Amino acid sequence: MDTELKDYIERGIYEVHGWLEPYSALFIADLIEILRESGTKGAYGEIGVHHGKLFILLKLATQNAQGFAIDVFDDQHLNLDHSGLGNIDKFKSNIIKWSKSLNHVHVIKRSSLDVQPEELLNLVGKCQFISIDGGHTEICTLSDLKLAEKVLLPDGVVVIDDCFNEQWPDVATGIARYCTDDATLLRPFAISPNKLYLAREDVHQKILSNIKPSHTKHLSRENRMFGHNVWIFHPNTVVAPPGTETMDEVLRLVRAYPMRFLKHAIRRIPLFK
């Protein structure tokens, strides 16, 4: 993994405001690297960028490919469900801070409901990876999935946020409508914290067989969604069990997972931030 991307995953995601669980950040970066190694080259994009937390990772992981960023930004009257609060100045300054430039970043300040696939194809071309995290209504989710499908390369991946978040049941409903429609192409194949990954069925096995070896210890189990096998990847983070109150219990956990505790502690020292 290149040093800028590694640094962003280790420090940047803790500084840029937004919603991205650290293990999902690593999983997405690895997935993009695997796509590149297997010859999938193309643009990337995100619907709903907020301050750029995930977008920056996508930019670095795709090695500065052409990228689109759709957000209503300060036109918040178009953010019908009040998910996040895009800010174009913070978005741009975060990108410059963590990836040095705005090169190849194409910002579309509009509701994704008003964006046509042709516009994205003219702007950036076909995409290898698209994140959907904009409007969290059923209609928006369904429409964003259809938009992403039309600009995605045949072996590309779409990741969607909040599918399992109890605060946003409309997202799950939109995904269900999309995945049960015979006219649509993308189906789920993997899950990581708060993220669902979709691709065309004929590339599921290839992607999974490439990502599994480097994430074996995070593979929690296989399950089914809409008639497809989905693999669940989990961070295995150390969570102190309820009742861990005595120093002996804390020390036992530190002895069991020394490196994780050390990394966790170092990140909290201002010098290392």
Ligand X SMILES: C[S@@+](CC[C@H](N)C(=O)[O-])C[C@H]1O[C@@H](n2cnc3c(N)ncnc32)[C@H](O)[C@@H]1O
Burial class (CB in 10 A: 0-12, 13-18, 19+), 272: exposed
How near is the Cβ of 87 to ligand X at its closest, in Å?
A: 8
Residue type, 200: R
Closer residue to ligand X, CB minimum distance, 34 or 49: 49
> Would you state the structure tokens that stand for residue 60, as one six-digit string?
């670095």
How near is the Cβ of 247 to ligand X at its closest, in Å?
A: 37
The residues of the shown chain that bind ligand X, judged by CB under 6 A, are: 18-20, 47-50, 53-54, 70-72, 78-79, 83-86, 111-113, 133-135, 140
Closer residue to ligand X, CB minimum distance, 69 or 203: 69
59 neighbors 46 (Cβ within 8 angstroms): no
How near is the Cβ of 219 to ligand X at its closest, in Å?
A: 25
How near is the Cβ of 70 to ligand X at its closest, in Å?
A: 5
102 neighbors 92 (Cβ within 8 angstroms): yes
How near is the Cβ of 175 to ligand X at its closest, in Å?
A: 16
Closer residue to ligand X, CB minimum distance, 165 or 180: 165
Which of 77, 88, 86, 144 shows the shortest CA–CA distance to 114?
A: 144
The owner of tokens 């690895």 is 30
Closer residue to ligand X, CB minimum distance, 130 or 208: 130
DSSP state of 16: S
Closer residue to ligand X, CB minimum distance, 173 or 229: 173
